[in-house]
Structure 1
Amino acid sequence: MFGTLLEETEVKVPASKAWALYGTLELEKAMIGKLVEAVEVVEGDGGTGTILNFTLKPGSRFSCYREKFTKVDNENKVKEIEVLEGGFLDFGFTFYRCRIEIKENPNDDTGSSCLVTLTTEYDVKEEAADNASLVTNKPLVSITSIGNEYLLKSG
């Protein structure tokens, strides 16, 4: 069973500034203490192939997971991240990917704002199809909220 969730938000910073956060390891660093307890860089420097271990805060649905940046496209401002171990994969999911895309805001002629789109795609085994209900927009909303707050505070 395949599913997709999408969350889009406007940020009052230029797309290049938003990409400097979302397209690098800075977003994961900004989440420490808010959404996650710790982030460990296992391999890489934030580009394609980077592998991270996440330890979540107590009370989270799962305690840890490992993810890999499968695409970091600086030209088009697109980053794709797939869970390699733990997390949703422990609940019968065979695939779990988050895609971050930064675009110029078509309604802003000044270039002082952009659109941040986070998309989650997942596939869950038929025998675990009920677990698809575990996937919600809440983490996407939290990530964009943390990111937007960081961008606005950093001027």
Structure 2
Amino acid sequence: MHGYLSEDTLVEVPVAVIWEVYRGLQLGKLVNELLRDVIGEVEFVQGDGSVGTIVKLTFPPGTPGPSYMKEMFTKIDDEIRLKEAETIEGGFKDVGFDLYRVRLQILEKDTESSIIRSSVEYEIDDKLEEIASQVTTKPLEIMAEVIGKYLKERSSTN
């Protein structure tokens, strides 16, 4: 079974500003600062934020399922402002997914606002359809909203 979910989140931040955060390690640092209790703790295992970088996300206590996942950045395209990461260990891999890929794309709405398109693509055995129904973009949407708001507030104080 192959699945795909996508959600757009409008943020009142210029595209260059939000892409600068999303493209590298700053996204994980802001998750640690702003969303540790909601999304978890990001640890940089190897790499400098470019393709091949591996990050470990330890979920907050009480989160059902595996306690962590490791992701590898598999694509970063500055031209179309697209970043992809695949789960390589833990998380959805541990419950039977063959592929679990997160795709984050930053689209320009106008000079002062952007759309963060958060997508999840997955492959799983048809027999595990019930597990596939648990896939959601909600954590990515929350991350987009909180980081967008944080960057907007920070730019208005400068």
TM-score greater than 0.5 by the shorter chain = yes
Question: How many angstroms apart in 2 are the aligned matches of 1:152 and 1:34?
Answer: 22
Aligned to 1:35: 38
> Contact 1:56/1:63 (CA < 8 Å) preserved in 2?
yes
User: Which amino acid letter does the alignment assign opposite residue 71 of structure 2?
Assistant: E
Shift, 1:149, TM fit: 2.2
Distance 1:15 1:30, change over 3 A: same
One-letter amino acid of the counterpart of residue 58, structure 2 = T
Aligned with 2:82 (options 62, 78, 98): 78
CA-based RMSD = 1.4
Tell me how far apart the structure 1 counterparts of residues 62 and 108 of structure 2 sit (CA, whole Å).
37
Residue number in structure 2 paired with 1:2: 2
Aligned amino acid, residue 60 of structure 2: K
Q: Hey, what's the Cα distance between the residues in 2 that align with 1:15 and 1:46? A: 19
Secondary structure of residue in 1 paired with 2:16: helix
| Residue 52 in structure 1 maps to residue 58 in structure 2 | no
**TM-score where L is the length of structure 1:** 0.91
**The 10-residue stretch of structure 1 (30-39 or 72-81) with the greater mean CA deviation from structure 2:** 30-39
The 5 Å alignment of 1:109-128 reads 111-128=111-128
Q: Distance in 2 between matches of 1:38 and 1:12?
A: 26
| SS state at 1:148 partner | helix
Q: Gaps (5+ residues) in structure 2?
A: none
Q: Which runs of 4+ in 1 moved over 6 A?
A: none
User: How do 1:98-137 residues align onto structure 2 when only pairs under 5 Å count?
Assistant: 98-105=102-109, 108=110, 111-137=111-137
Closer, same or farther: CA 11–37 of 1 in aligned 2, 3 Å:
closer
Q: Does 1:146 align with 2:155?
A: no
Shift of 1:55: 0.9
Question: How far has the Cα of 1:49 moved from its partner?
Answer: 0.7
TM-score (norm. length: structure 2): 0.89
Which segment drifts farther, 39-48 or 145-154?
145-154
Q: CA deviation at 1:2?
A: 0.8
**Secondary structure of 1:45's match?**
coil
